[in-house]
Structure formats: structure tokens, C-alpha cells
Amino acid sequence: MEGRQVVTSDAEELGTVLAEREGCVIVETGHLFKTKHAIPRDFLHDDNGVLRATLAKDVIADSPKVKVDEFDAAAIRRHYGLEVDFESS
């Protein structure tokens, strides 16, 4: 997976895959000011060697920034609506 390009649902080139951790793909985005974001594999599919995300660029850009070997997978999943915190009354 490393080195593959990621394209968003709004046809924006997002960045390059750096690694895969805890069910997420870590993507480096930006040209001058590079950041890293995690995208759960649930939102990615292969399209002739390119990974297509079923998410818009702004949804990914609003996700928590991560480090390749250090991030909170539960926080990432919550951001994308895959994990929900329940409050007891």
C-alpha cells in the first residue's frame, strides 16, 4: 500500500500512503506544509492502482492529525462516525 496515491470522492488528489496501521491508512497531504491523516480502510477502495476514498477532502482535512507510529485509532474511528461514545443517564 505504501506509495500509492489517494483520491477523494470529490476527485481531489489527497496525497501518498505512508503506512497502514490499526485498520487505517496513513496519508501524507499537502505540498509545502505536509500533514498526516489516518483514513479507515472502510472508506477506501482500489481503482486501477489508485486508492479512492468515499470521503470528501474537507472531511479528511478536518480529521485529527497523526504520526505514523502514534495515533489514537478510536479517535479516528469516532471522527468518521465508525465508533460512537454512549453516555449513560
pTM of the model: 0.86
The 44-47 sheet, strands edge to edge: 35-40, 24-29, 13-21, 5-7, 50-53, 44-47
CA 16 – CA 25 distance, rounded (Å): 10
Does 89 fall in a domain?
no
Does 70 fall in a domain?
yes
Neighbouring residues of 57: CB distance < 8 A, sequence distance ≥ 6: 8, 10, 12, 14
Phi-psi region of 76 (alpha: psi -120 to 50; beta: other; left: phi over 0): alpha
DSSP, res 63: S
Does 87 fall in a domain?
no
CATH number, domain of 57, equals 2.30.30.240
Does 84 fall in a domain?
no
- How many structural domains does the chain have? 1
Tell me the residue range of the domain where 24 lies.
Answer: 5-79
Does 55 fall in a domain?
yes
pLDDT digits (tens, 9 = 90+) for 38-89: 999 999 999 998 999 999 999 999 999 999 888 899 999 999 998 776 666 6
